[in-house]
Structure 1
């Protein structure tokens, strides 16, 4: 039986230290961590690795349920995958484990709360943006891709896939920029 810790933060400027320290204190023999959004399972390679290597009686431990995911369906699917491998999921704060009969029910309720919290965050963010716009203070999100460079590369005949590779972004982002003001 292995105790495997999973730590996650949403952005690269956030710190994993508190989570990894807590997981170590809980006796996790292995801790995998990543800096990626929890709104879906896309790009969560460390979680996928843990799930692929779980064995019967292993325990996946997270500090809080929202570290596992922000969407109820995703959280329940992760728990289901663990159960299919006869492994368990334990959340430290508040302490809940799928080892017991009531654990599954409590996990479902906590998953719903995590999803609700995500909706509230998005709603507060939208309200803040709308208020800033009304006061003339909104400048938009930080530009991550050099739009001028995308258009220049396209102008010299580079294809969207090549531009995406050169600028280390997705092809979809390139297409969005190229289709702006068309």
Structure 2
């Protein structure tokens, strides 16, 4: 039986130290602390969480700092916790002090999950309102166009010749997968 700690922040620029300190307070070994820097809105796009869920077994415990770090909508939260309960894994959310092994704990989880989703929806609404105002004032231009890295042509040619793989180009040029494929598509449209 092991205790794991799941840490998530929404972007690579955000800091995980506050959540890591909580994991240390529970004396959880580093190899049982799972850190993910990705938006929480889509469970399918969270490989660290999915890997963690697959490794947990009966009698294990999963601790998170808060529900909003684990799931951003009620449906995903309930689904994840039901999966954990079906496996016999104990789920603990520190901020909300939730114990999902009791009916009251599951009820509270549902309430807090709904509040977390409401908070996310409010943030999204405020963001959209801000963008609309900025557009009206001519201050919002949308995303900046993707710029090609300095050595893009060289690596693109090598990739097409088969001397290097796309994944290696992504690593060398420090590109995200989505950015890499957008660049490939734009490059091929220009030719």
TM-score (norm 1): 0.80
Q: Could you list the runs of 5+ residues in structure 1 that have no partner in the other structure?
A: 151-157, 159-163
**Aligned pair 1:42/2:44, yes or no?**
yes
Separation of aligned partners in 2, 1:23 and 1:102:
25
Report the Cα offset of residue 69 of structure 1: 1.1
Residue 49 of structure 1: SS of its match in structure 2? helix
What residue is the counterpart of 1:114 in the other structure? 116
Separation of aligned partners in 2, 1:142 and 1:32:
33
Residue 42 of structure 1: SS of its match in structure 2? helix
What residue is the counterpart of 2:7 in the other structure? 7
TM-score (norm 2): 0.76
Structure with the bigger percentage of helix: 2
Separation of aligned partners in 1, 2:22 and 2:39:
21
Give CA deviations for 1:99-132 in whole Å, capped at 9, x if unaligned. 2231111111111111111111110000111111
Q: Could you list the runs of 5+ residues in structure 2 that have no partner in the other structure?
A: 153-159, 161-165
Q: Count the aligned residue pairs.
A: 177
Say if 1:173 and 1:73 are closer, same or farther in 2 by CA, change over 3 A. farther
Report the Cα offset of residue 24 of structure 1: 1.8
**Which of structure 1's runs of 4+ aligned residues deviate more than 6 A?**
none
Give CA deviations for 1:43-92 in whole Å, capped at 9, x if unaligned. 31211121111121211110010100102111111101101110111100
**Aligned pair 1:83/2:111, yes or no?**
no
**Aligned pair 1:57/2:59, yes or no?**
yes
Over the aligned positions, Cα root-mean-square deviation in angstroms equals 3.2
Say if 1:136 and 1:77 are closer, same or farther in 2 by CA, change over 3 A. same
Say if 1:142 and 1:11 are closer, same or farther in 2 by CA, change over 3 A. farther
Separation of aligned partners in 2, 1:17 and 1:26:
15
Separation of aligned partners in 2, 1:45 and 1:121:
25
Separation of aligned partners in 2, 1:103 and 1:176:
49
Separation of aligned partners in 1, 2:110 and 2:52:
21
Say if 1:142 and 1:13 are closer, same or farther in 2 by CA, change over 3 A. farther
